[in-house]
């Protein structure tokens, strides 16, 4: 009996905007100048938030923080494609997603000071609290997508995780269930090349993370994660596909973690300096700026003006957070269940006495 090929797959790579600010106009999303400015401003805001968070940490005013530096295009580009009714299940390195969706900045600072109130998502946003255990939350997006399907809603669930998270069992279980039931979910892997000290090639022997989708019966695509146009287009396409009932997509954003894993980490212990220098040339903000400059949308005066405006905004958000004050210790108990248990009621009473 001859051996037959019974299955084959190919993995696409999508790039639209290069490091010099040149684009492939056949693939370029249809953005107005205003869209581009808005995206550029979210970019600056995200970077300012990130820098201020690191600075506040250094001053001892903020707890451990996971920087998003270098990954902004993956986060902003994908989040910008979402509809208000979509549901988002992030990990802990997605502040750019929260900011793009309009999550209050002061609440993000509040969360990172170690205050759960910062993750009480305001009504009107369907973004889930930060998930600390790596790679365990993709299944929640699968469940929410399942629910949307049962209820006949148009909502798509989007979940973010990293190259490290793709090694977890729940990645497999989540993608598998999503594939079987053709659920409206988009899996966004920010492959930032490092899981603390473990380089990407030791995370999986597979050439790409995108190709893993094919073993669950749906498409995966690798996009240049520092190219905001490519990330936006891939996400938009995946969302449309999901809304049309054609099932899930895995998007691997090929990007780079420019900072340490968190403020508790020192990447110089394990990461070659030259690698970081090489990736600095691929900076996602720089290439967006070059593109906008070429098209007469960016000027230094414009950037100076918005930087000033956004610095003031971040300052006032930090002030706002500081005026909110400390949470009530009673909150530790109050939110365990909808109603207090007999024991909890006693504990609260003892406290008050």
Asked if 92 is part of the footprint of other proteins (rule: CB under 8 A), the reply reads no
Asked if 88 is part of the footprint of other proteins (rule: CB under 8 A), the reply reads no
- Catalytically active residues, by annotation: 257, 261, 270
CB of 85 to other proteins, least distance (A): 11
| Distance (Å, whole) CA 77 – CA 344 | 45
Task: With CA atoms as reference, report the closest residue to 240 among 81, 98, 128.
Answer: 81
Q: Which of 43, 87, 161, 254 binds other proteins (CB under 8 A)?
A: 87
| Distance (Å, whole) CA 154 – CA 157 | 10
Q: Which of 48, 78, 91, 131 binds other proteins (CB under 8 A)?
A: 131
Q: Which of 18, 121, 271, 286 binds other proteins (CB under 8 A)?
A: 121
CB of 82 to other proteins, least distance (A): 16
Question: Is 82 exposed, middle or buried (CB count within 10 Å of its CB: 0-12, 13-18, 19+)?
Answer: buried
Asked if 8 is part of the footprint of other proteins (rule: CB under 8 A), the reply reads no
| Interface stretch with other proteins, choices 38-46, 141-149, 231-239, 307-315 (CB under 8 A) | 141-149
CB of 142 to other proteins, least distance (A): 5
Which residue number, 33 or 116, has a Cβ lying nearer to other proteins? 116
CB of 191 to other proteins, least distance (A): 22
CB 313 within 8 A of CB 102: no
Which residue number, 119 or 297, has a Cβ lying nearer to other proteins? 119
CB of 195 to other proteins, least distance (A): 18
| Distance (Å, whole) CA 313 – CA 155 | 32
Asked if 217 is part of the footprint of other proteins (rule: CB under 8 A), the reply reads no
| Binders in 332-351 for other proteins, by CB under 8 A | 334-338, 341-344
Asked if 143 is part of the footprint of other proteins (rule: CB under 8 A), the reply reads yes
Which residue number, 295 or 336, has a Cβ lying nearer to other proteins? 336
Asked if 154 is part of the footprint of other proteins (rule: CB under 8 A), the reply reads no
| Interface stretch with other proteins, choices 64-72, 76-84, 142-150, 187-195 (CB under 8 A) | 142-150
Q: Which of 148, 223, 230, 231 binds other proteins (CB under 8 A)?
A: 148
Asked if 271 is part of the footprint of other proteins (rule: CB under 8 A), the reply reads no
Q: Which of 174, 220, 225, 248 binds other proteins (CB under 8 A)?
A: 174
Q: How far apart are the first and last CA of the chain?
A: 83
Pairing of strands 194-195, 249-254: unpaired
Asked if 63 is part of the footprint of other proteins (rule: CB under 8 A), the reply reads no
Contacts of 2 (CB under 8 A, 6+ apart): none
| Interface stretch with other proteins, choices 18-26, 75-83, 150-158, 286-294 (CB under 8 A) | 150-158
| Distance (Å, whole) CA 176 – CA 334 | 37
Task: With CA atoms as reference, report the closest residue to 159 among 195, 194, 192, 134.
Answer: 134
Binding site for other proteins (CB under 8 A): 87, 89, 116-117, 119-121, 128-129, 131-133, 136-148, 150-151, 157, 169-170, 173-174, 176-177, 180-181, 331, 334-338, 341-344
């Amino acid at each position: 009996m001859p051996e037959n090929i019974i299955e084959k797959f190919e993995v696409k790579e999508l790039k639209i905007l290069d490091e010099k600010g040149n684009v492939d106009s056949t693939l370029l999303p249809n953005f107005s100048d205003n869209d581009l400015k808005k995206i550029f401003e979210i970019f600056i805001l995200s970077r300012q938030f990130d820098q201020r968070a690191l600075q506040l940490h250094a001053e001892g005013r903020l707890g451990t923080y996971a920087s998003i530096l270098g990954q902004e295009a993956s986060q902003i580009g994908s989040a910008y494609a979402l509809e208000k009714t979509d549901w988002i299940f992030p990990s802990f390195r997605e502040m750019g997603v929260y900011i793009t969706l309009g999550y209050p900045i002061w609440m993000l600072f509040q969360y990172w000071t170690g205050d759960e109130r910062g993750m009480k998502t305001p009504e009107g946003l369907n973004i889930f609290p930060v998930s600390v255990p790596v790679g365990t939350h993709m299944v929640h997006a699968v469940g929410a997508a399942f629910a949307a399907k049962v209820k006949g809603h148009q909502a798509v669930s989007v979940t973010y995780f990293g190259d490290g998270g793709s090694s977890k069992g729940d990645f497999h279980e989540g993608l598998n269930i999503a594939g079987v039931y053709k659920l409206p979910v988009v899996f966004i892997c920010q492959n930032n090349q490092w899981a603390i000290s473990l380089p990407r090639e030791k995370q999986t022997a597979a050439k790409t993370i995108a190709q893993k989708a094919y073993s669950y019966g749906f498409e995966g695509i690798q996009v240049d994660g520092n190219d905001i146009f490519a990330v936006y287009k891939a996400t938009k396409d995946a969302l449309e596909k999901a809304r049309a009932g054609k099932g899930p997509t895995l998007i691997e954003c090929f990007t780079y973690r420019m900072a340490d894993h968190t403020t508790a980490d020192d990447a110089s212990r394990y990461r070659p300096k030259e690698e970081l220098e090489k990736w600095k040339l691929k900076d996602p903000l720089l290439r967006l700026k070059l593109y906008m400059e070429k098209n007469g949308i960016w000027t230094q005066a414009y950037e100076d003006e918005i930087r000033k405006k956004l610095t003031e905004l971040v300052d006032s958000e930090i002030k706002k957070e500081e005026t909110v004050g400390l949470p009530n210790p009673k909150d530790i108990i109050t939110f365990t269940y909808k109603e207090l248990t007999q024991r909890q009621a006693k504990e609260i009473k003892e406290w008050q006495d």
